[in-house]
Amino acid sequence: MIEKLEQHYGYLFEDDLIKEIAEVAIYKEFKANSTIIDIDSYLVSIPLIISGAIKVLREDKDGDDLVLYYIEKGDTCAMTLSCCMGATKSKIKAIAETDVTVLMIPKGKMSEWLSKYKSWQEYILQSYHSRLNEFIEAVDSIAFLNMNERLHKYLKDKAMVIGDDTLNVTHLQIANDLHTSRVVISRLLKALEKQSKIELHRNQIKILEL
């Protein structure tokens, strides 16, 4: 485990912190599309992502989801940190976008390390800053972009997160992530294809403009 930590977090954390993480962390693997955190769950640990990507969603009163942002290798989730610190129920859902490996850190260690390690303090503050910026970007996207622009941005973001310009995704899955209907997504995808921004294949979309 120390080798994985040094590889992915060695440039961020002191050697002593790396050793402590290795002692207390629980290594977990999640398959793509599996739920990692659910709405209204109490969280007892925070994730450090070793590999893969996770999408963070908000659920409305009807049970429909809206993608807020993605977290990737080297990241943690600011919403998880807030829930752990406040001992409150989760307001978000986290789904594995790809196969994911994470190290789960007991929440008690988070506050202890904030005063003990400057690198951990900087990491947590940077995580809050990054997630806040992404959340603002998500709000701006909903408020100021039309659905065609939102869809194109969603496809490009998804491609960058998984590191592949070909997405294996259905129109219904996209519609659920963007909180709209499959019919609307299918129509807009065809429009993007006519603009030579994407290529449509059966359950696959190739992004031509990244």
Q: Give pLDDT, residue 108.
A: 85
135 and 183, same domain (yes or no): no
Q: Which two tokens stand for residue 27?
A: 């290594």
Residues 97 and 54 in one domain: yes
Distance CA 61, CA 163 (A): 33
- pTM exceeds 0.85: no
DSSP designation for 26: E
From 143, 170, 195, give the residue that closes a domain.
143
Q: Which residues of 193-203 are buried (b: 16+ CB within 10 A; e: fewer)?
A: eeeebbeeeee
| Amino acid sitting at position 79 | M
Torsional sign, CA 209, 188, 93, 114: positive
CATH number at residue 186: 1.10.10.10
Q: Is the domain of 77 the same as that of 23? A: yes
Structural domain range at position 185:
146-207
- CATH number, domain with residue 79: 2.60.120.10
Q: What is the pLDDT along the chain (210 residues), one digit of tens a residue?
A: 677 777 777 778 888 999 999 999 999 999 999 999 888 888 888 889 999 999 988 887 777 778 888 888 888 887 777 777 767 788 888 999 999 999 999 888 888 898 899 999 999 889 888 888 888 888 888 777 789 999 999 999 999 988 899 999 999 999 988 888 899 999 999 999 999 999 999 889 999 976
Q: Are residues 171 and 121 in the same domain?
A: no
Question: Domain boundary residue among 87, 116, 143?
Answer: 143
- Per the structure, the count of domains in the chain is 2
- pLDDT for 81 equals 77
Domain identity same for 69 and 118: yes
CB 8 within 8 A of CB 34: no
135 plus 173 within the same structural domain: no
Report the pLDDT value the prediction gives residue 79, as an integer from 0 to 100: 75
> Are residues 181 and 110 part of one domain?
no
Which bin fits 120, alpha (ψ -120 to 50), beta or left (φ > 0)? alpha
Residue type at 56?
Answer: V
Same domain, 120 and 160: no
Is 28 in the same domain as 131?
yes
What is the reported pLDDT for 166?
94
- The DSSP-derived string for 110-144 is HHHHHHH-HHHHHHHHHHHHHHHHHHHHHHHHHHH
Query: Are both 29 and 119 inside the same structural domain?
Result: yes
Residues 145, 44: Cα–Cα separation, whole Å: 37
The verdict on 68 and 160 lying in the same domain is no
Measure the CA–CA gap between 22 and 14, rounded to whole angstroms. 13
Looking at 96, 111, 143, the residue that finishes a domain is 143
Shared domain for 173 and 151, answered yes or no, is yes
